[in-house]
Amino acid sequence: MKYKLVIFDFDGTLADSFPWFLRMVNTVAAKYQFKRVEEEEVQALRSLSALQLVRHLGIPLWKMPMIAHHVRQLMMKEQKEIACFEGVDQLLSQLSEAGVLLALVTSNSYANVREVLGADNLALMTYIECDVSLFGKRSRYRKILKQSGVRPMEALCIGDEIRDIEAATQELIPFGAVSWGYTHIEALQARSPAEVFARVDEIAGRIIESA
């Protein structure tokens, strides 16, 4: 197989949390005094990087840890409203059965991940990194590579955000962009990902069958 290790993002990649995020974001904006997200600007904002979005909303970087913690707490109370994308269970089991090492790197909490992903799916993950800071994924990718002994080019990061592909690129890890997440696929394609996935059920076949 071309990829021995697959490192997944969670929100927008495995978990369909974007509709929930849109419902609660302006409540958080009022609490932490940043700009509201208006319905007519949502699609344009989905082409921005995390840093561009933070700047657009007028959020000081020092507030981000507090906001992230608050969002995780809100999700904990409303976990039942969020589910995995259809096909995720089969995807993870197929990759695991084929001998692919699985990892998860997310800014979300372990409690939220466990509730939404499920204990059985989480047990398939050899490496789990939760509560990662907004721009802290690169160091977690490096940590997983070191622990696994897998070379960067033998791993694949799969995610839906520009910060994901930037962090992967910095560690020389190929990136698989998904079309169903927070960021418009065109914005991810502009950064030349190694793989582009239009459907969840494409992922396992392409990885397992790759030479």
% residues pLDDT > 70 (the chain): 99
74-96: burial string, b at 16+ Cβ within 10 Å, e else: ebeeeeeebebbeebbebbebbb
Chosen CATH of 5-16+83-209 out of 3.90.340.10, 3.40.50.1000, 3.10.20.30, 3.40.50.12280: 3.40.50.1000
Residue-range domain boundaries for the chain: 5-16+83-209, 18-81
**φ, ψ for residue 135 (rounded to 5)?**
-120, 35
Tell me what the pLDDT averaged over the chain comes to.
Answer: 95
The pLDDT-based confidence of 14 (bands split at 50, 70, 90) is very high
Report the pLDDT value the prediction gives residue 210, as an integer from 0 to 100. 55
Half-sphere exposure of 85 (CA within 13 A, CB side): 24
> What digits encode the pLDDT tens for the residues 100-142?
999 999 999 999 999 999 999 999 999 999 999 989 999 999 9
Lowest-confidence range among 72-81, 132-141, 161-170, 202-211? Answer: 202-211
